[in-house]
Amino acid sequence: MVKLTADLIWKSPHFFNAIKERELDLRGNKIPVIENLGATEDQFDSIDLSDNEIVKLENFPYLKRLGTLIINNNRITRINPNLGEFLPKLHSLVLTNNRLVNLVEIDPLSSIPKLQYLSLLDNNITKKPNYRLYVIHKLKSLRVLDFIKVKAKERAEAAALFSSTEAEEEAKKVSQEEVQKVSDTTEQPETPKVVAPTQEQILAIKAAIINSQTIEEIARLEQALKFGQVPAGLIIPDPVHSNVATKDGKPASGGNDGSGPMEE
């Protein structure tokens, strides 16, 4: 990971983009934390922080010029509730492909007074019931959500659906419960069953150790025997029809011990 330092900011590409805005390109640096953006001296209309490792959308200095923030393909799960205080003119925010899951996680965006364009595509939050209407309800100045224009009809539907604080809280609660269900199923995976080797398999492992041709193979088999594991590819020979080689190279008689050579 690379720390976002003043030196990195000064050395990064900056140019006038297609819409004649002065843009700073900080893409693809594996940056984990937003910091030191004061070094920009508020000289940019647009900052691109895509393709990094950022988890929290926070720690901005006061940037009165910044209008566009592009932060695709990161790991953002949390947003500073006071973000708007530091980015008063931010009108476009692109958060495509991050890790926002619950409706309540976008509430801090309501602190941005002039936010008009927002993308939350490829975040799990977009799969929540009434996601679009909830975002439209919370962000009153929004004109385009996920590259689709916000219609007057949607504003009316959002206002009717979330006409009370209770309705809004219920939507958040449902969203959180769904997240918890997913968490419960993913954080407690089924423990695979470990089957101990049989006596016949143990004898076969020992015989295979005797017949091994390399130190590496001997070490692998001894490790398996030590931890009670059955090595991959172990074949249990038929004790009636197989002869087992011993250390002196002579075949064992009778084969009544159930051991035999392992074929690799």
pTM: 0.66
| CA 235 – CA 92 distance, rounded (Å) | 64
Query: Which tokens belong to 13?
Result: 């590409």
Q: What was the pLDDT predicted at 180?
A: 56
Predicted pLDDT of residue 164: 72
Q: What is the pLDDT, as a whole number, of residue 257?
A: 44
147-172 pLDDT per residue, tens? 999 999 999 999 999 887 776 777 76
pLDDT bracket for residue 253 (50, 70, 90): very low
- pLDDT tens-digit readout, 205-221: 767 767 666 766 776 66
- Do residues 133 and 125 touch, judged by C-beta distance below 8 A? no
Summarize the confidence of residues 224-242 as an average pLDDT. 57
| Domain boundaries, given as residue ranges, for the chain | 6-171, 195-264
Q: Which residues of 37-56 are buried (b: 16+ CB within 10 A; e: fewer)?
A: beebeeebbbbbbbbbebbe
Tell me 188's DSSP state: S
pLDDT digits (tens, 9 = 90+) for 29-54: 999 999 999 999 999 999 999 999 99
Class of domain 6-171 as given by CATH: alpha beta
Range from 54-63, 65-74, 194-203 carrying the lowest mean pLDDT: 194-203
